[in-house]
Structure 1
Amino acid sequence: VANRGEIAIRVFRACTELGIRTVAVYSEQDTGQMHRQKADEAYLIGRGLAPVQAYLHIPDIIKVAKENNVDAVHPGYGFLSERADFAQACQDAGVRFIGPSPEVVRKMGDKVEARAIAISAGVPVVPGTDAPITSLHEA
């Protein structure tokens, strides 16, 4: 799980119930945090970085996954869950990303494109603009 706190603990609990071994990552400042103890294994990432930057340091997370034969990475929420480059890095490393494909993450990250996709799929959306607004007057 490429995250910390309650979301990591919830994912670890679900995995444990399913008989799946778990791996946590943690920053130097999070050595005593519960998510580290709830995982079967835990590895330090982002040495020398502030906690948030450590959890956003994609190369360290991929390195931990590769060196420990991790099958899949769950991004949790926040941090890396909406980062297409993280989903792509997992895919490129041969590690499953538990979430949408990098392309879907990219498309959903563009709110104008996401809205157009929803409309084309017949999903009801709140009335709004079809393009980004460019001025305060348009808003």
Structure 2
Amino acid sequence: MRDVQKTIGNLIDRQSTAFIGSVSQDGFPNVKAMLAPRKRIGLKTIYFTSNTSSMRAAQYRENPKACVYFCDRRFFRGVMLTGTMEVLEDSESKEMIWQEGDTMYYPLGVTDPDYCVLRFTAESGRYYSNFKSENFEIEP
């Protein structure tokens, strides 16, 4: 891969769905489809919206180990990022990624107590394309 940031960044930005992984209380992997990230800072930091009361938020609070997978089904390629997920409930984080129409999910608005932000911080990555995989470094 010539330009990791560009290649992987473009793949992420073109997907409408992301798959996030967490670890259950009994140590098993759990995967969930999510809407596309709300904000991305390079490949290092990715922000999602979620419900404070969700099972996933509880799992990340207990064990922050996580992965995020993006799949381009058309060209059969994908990227898995592994790292940690934080559950943020501060008003600055919530306002940063709030979008018009979010009241459909969080009827009380940006201050809805059931609205939180999931901040994923990548530590490593693996890219799959053309029937082969390769690891890549995550730049700060």
Per the normalisation by structure 1, the TM-score is 0.24
**Higher relative contact order (Cα pairs below 8 Å, separated by 6+ residues):** 2
User: Larger strand proportion, structure 1 or 2?
Assistant: 2
User: Larger helix proportion, structure 1 or 2?
Assistant: 1
Per the normalisation by structure 2, the TM-score is 0.23
